[in-house]
Amino acid sequence: MDTRGALGAAAGIAVAVGAFALGRAQAAPERPPFLGTDGSDWAAMGEKEKLALLRGFLIGAAYAEKGRGKQVGPDALEALRQKGELRFCFVPELYKARLEDLYFYKDQRALPLYEALRRIEAQIREGNSPPPSPQ
């Protein structure tokens, strides 16, 4: 192989490596930590990702609330959820629908996901509480 051929091969390899690195940098942006996840991140997720995130959040919240330091299995947590004894006791699909409604408005997308879920939970509970009894 002559000098021009070797230089051409080296230049080709350098361009390929650079293009690969550039593609990796553009294709895989770093995800924010959960507490930094907001409506813009939510809007960029697929349907399966959204439900997986909500299921994980709800399982973690249930375990943190009722299972800390105890042997609590999924069946026990599900029973507590069905009785309404967990802070976040509704199904992931309900929270997903409410988040879709909230984050539809672009001015709401800066709201962190955990805060949006807290507000949604409070709204659901307030809206579903029985009316005050007459005095």
pLDDT tens per residue, range 27-68: 556 666 667 789 999 999 999 999 999 998 888 888 888 877
* Domain residue ranges in the chain: 1-30, 34-126
What is the rounded distance in angstroms from the CA atom of residue 9 to the CA atom of residue 62?
A: 59
The structure's pTM equals 0.66
Calculate Rg over the CA atoms of the chain: 24
Terminal-residue alpha carbon distance, the chain: 99
Does residue 118 register a pLDDT over 80?
yes
User: Which pLDDT value is given to residue 82?
Assistant: 84
Burial class of residue 124 in the structure, from the number of CB atoms within 10 Å of its CB (0-12 exposed, 13-18 middle, 19+ buried): middle
